[in-house]
Amino acid sequence: MRLLYSALLLISASFLAVSCNSNKEQEENTKDPKVRTVDDDKADSLLMAYDPANGDKRIEEFMTRLHNKYNFNGNVLVAKKGKILYEGCFGWADYLHRDSLKLNSQFELASVSKTMTGTAILMLMERGKLRLDQDVREFFPNFPYPGVTIKLLLTHRSGMMNYVYFVDGIWKKQHKDERPGITNMDVMNLIAQYKPARYSEPDKHFHYNNSNFMVLGAIIEKVSGMKYSQFMKENVFKPAGMKHTAVYSKAEYDKIPADVVGHDRNSWKYSVAQNFLDGPVGDKGIYSTVGDLYLFDHALKTGRLLKQQTLDSAYKAHNPLIRGHFSYGYGWRTFDDEGEKVVYHTGWWHGFRHIYVRDLKDDIVVVVLGNVVNGSLLQLDDLYKMLDMPVIRKGAYTGNGDTEDD
């Protein structure tokens, strides 16, 4: 009898332990990834640790030469396998006021914003809020182009015209005030009203342009019931620990609260003032730092934002390869070659010029953000070579629409 009683106690204890472990595991699995913990902040602090005295001298010499010889003006971060190899600032944030750049200076990311808009759309897909095969007209019944799905927007295969040129033409023709920003919904209404001609039928060609991601920004607002700026803050920036990143739209701010001024035409004379076209977001409009883009990379790699299966689909080439290597996924330009896998994006808007490169195979991140538009970012070949990465540059790909806008 005593042996039976002991056996029952042992079984009961074992069941209790399994039950506790199961409850703990269930609790971990259902933990809201948006809720950051003290441990998350500590881990990010360690990730961002960098001592300039121990920085990679070859990269420092390369960037100094890029600044002195090719007039690069901006910030840079290079990391490999969870360690920052080099981080630095070169030049002015605002030449007129002689403000120097700082590591936490926020740059208008231009089309690098598309990587985050794509991430947000895929989040909503994972949550069952939308499907990639849904037609835009399911969200906006007056949208004049049938057959345009979310997937076609993500991959630049919608055939749409570029709203930037279309709206700019209307403003100039009607002599409208160019200072107040317009919203994504304003642009959607203009498209519905004027029905501008498309470049092509849906899914016929890859044609890169900003309309695709402006419409995705509008869909994010429609589906979430939140402004794009708020959705991105709560669902992307905060979970990723991106404390120096925000959406600044002229539709929400009379004066955009960022300290870095864009300069066009390779000259300090041409500082670019924001106007009504700095209102629409999704295709652009996110301001961030080199450090926060590194944290974004880390959040994606560690599954904080999206499931691995979803990421794999985002990084897949969804267009015919250009020169056998280059294509476009869901918000990412892609490079594939014999085991190499690189995703990246360029950016060019109102005096800002950037490139953000993530070598997924060798865990390398290169972030170069510039606020003077010139040819300096076409001179990065030696940097890629010293990191033993594929060469990613504008001259390495061509194709209909591929080099348009950025």
What is the per-residue pLDDT across 209-223, written as a single tens digit (0 to 9) for each? 999 999 999 999 999
Q: How confident is the model at residue 163 (pLDDT cuts 50, 70, 90)?
A: very high
Q: What beta strand segments (E) does 104-181 contain?
A: 107-108
Residue 38 confidence class, pLDDT cut points 50, 70, 90: confident
What integer pLDDT is reported at residue 394 of this predicted model?
Answer: 55
369 strand-pairing partners: 75, 354
Query: pLDDT for 43-62, tens place per residue?
Result: 999 999 999 999 999 999 99
The answer as to CATH 3.40.710.10 being correct for domain 55-396 is yes
- Left (φ > 0), alpha (ψ -120 to 50) or beta: where does 277 sit? alpha
All structural domains of the chain with their residue ranges: 55-396
Query: Exposure of 14 by Cβ count < 10 A (0-12 exposed, 13-18 middle, 19+ buried)?
Result: exposed
pLDDT at 369: 98
Give yes or no for residue 18 having a pLDDT over 70.
no
Q: Is the pLDDT of residue 31 over 70?
A: no
- pLDDT at residue 338 greater than cutoff 90: no
Residue 29 pLDDT greater than 80, yes or no: no
Q: Which residue's entry shows tokens 């990679």?
A: 56
Say yes or no to pLDDT of 126 above 90: yes
pLDDT at 15: 41
Instruction: Give backbone dihedrals phi and psi of 135, rounded to 5 degrees, phi first.
Output: -75, 145
Rounded distance, CA 62 to CA 68, Å? Answer: 10
Higher pLDDT, 95 or 4: 95
Q: State residue 36's pLDDT score.
A: 82
Quick one: what percent of the chain has pLDDT higher than 90? 79
> Residues 289-334: pLDDT tens digits?
999 999 999 999 999 999 999 999 999 999 998 888 999 999 999 9
Confidence tier at 201 by pLDDT (50, 70, 90): very high
pLDDT band at 283 (very low <50, low <70, confident <90, very high): very high
Average pLDDT across the chain, whole number? 89
Band of the pLDDT at 395, cuts 50, 70, 90? low
Give dist(CA 37, CA 55) in Å, integer.
30
Q: Tell me what pLDDT residue 270 has.
A: 79
Overall average pLDDT of the 239-259 stretch: 96
- Distance, in Å, from the CA atom of 264 to the CA atom of 129, rounded to the nearest integer, reads 40
Q: Which residue has the higher pLDDT, 32 or 264?
A: 264
Is the per-residue pLDDT at 10 higher than 50? no
Residue 292 to residues 59, 287, 295, 369, Cα–Cα distance (Å): 20, 10, 5, 12
The pLDDT value given to residue 34: 63
What mean pLDDT do residues 190-210 have?
96
Is residue 11 pLDDT above 90, yes or no? no
